[in-house]
Amino acid sequence: MKRYIDLTHLIDEDMPVWPGTPQPEIKQPMTLGEDICTVQSIRFNCHLGTHLDAPSHFIEDGITVHQISLETLIGKAIILDFTGKGKNGLITREDLQRHQDRFDPGARVLIKTGWDKNFRPVSFYEEFPCLTLEAAEYLAYRKIRLLGMDTPSPSPVEDPGQAIHKTLLGAGIVLLEAVKNLTLIHQDECELIVLPPLFKNFSGAPCRVLAMVEN
């Protein structure tokens, strides 16, 4: 029997956002008290909460969200457990090479650190575990198609020239950032479902992310 685990953070006006970006603005222009129905509107940065980075986020002429194939977003994903890394922990090339037999070309990779427990405090965007540049280069070399993490980013806030993002996105790897609940998955793989809205030519988008696992 299979069950679904929601890997998506809730979007609201009080949620944490990447340093220097605006909070989402949520309004209700129509209400049942004054109108025939309720309607909400939202103004937000497209890299908000649990979201995708398409290659165009950092790569000239890279594909955008609506050009990402469903084959990339839906299918088996391997889960790597790095919950022991902690604050400022670095996931290195050597760490990844211990799992090298699982990195088939086109693999979807989810990295579990447990950092999502810090999502509500401001500290979510401080001292989180991330990849080294050499680790990013290794994933690009192994030709994976998607990398998801339960941290805000695969790279630190201060990454000179955004080398880690550029390495991954430049290799065509779609990034899935700020997922949650990977610690609830005790198997080493799952069926992954990622559903972004089809905003034309966006470099990223909040998305609903689900894992289907054996009960």
Average pLDDT, 10 consecutive residues per value, the chain (215 residues): 95 92 95 94 96 97 97 98 96 97 96 95 88 98 98 92 96 98 97 96 98 93
Ranges of each domain in the chain = 2-16+46-214
Q: 140 burial class (0-12, 13-18, 19+ CB within 10 angstroms)?
A: middle
Do the Cβ atoms of 77 and 213 come closer than 8 Å? no
Per-residue model confidence (pLDDT) at position 157: 87
Q: How far apart are CA 112 and CA 187, in angstroms?
A: 12
Supply angle C-alpha 57, 9, 47, rounded to 5: 15
Do the Cβ atoms of 11 and 47 come closer than 8 Å? no
Residues 75, 90, 140, 49: what is their CA dihedral angle, to the nearest 10 degrees?
50
Per-residue model confidence (pLDDT) at position 120: 85
Per-residue model confidence (pLDDT) at position 215: 82
Per-residue model confidence (pLDDT) at position 21: 92
Span 2-16+46-214 CATH architecture = 3-Layer(bba) Sandwich (3.50)
> Which residue type sits at 33?
G
Residues 35, 40, 41, 46: what is their CA dihedral angle, to the nearest 10 degrees?
-170
- Please give the model's pTM, rounded to 2 decimal places: 0.95
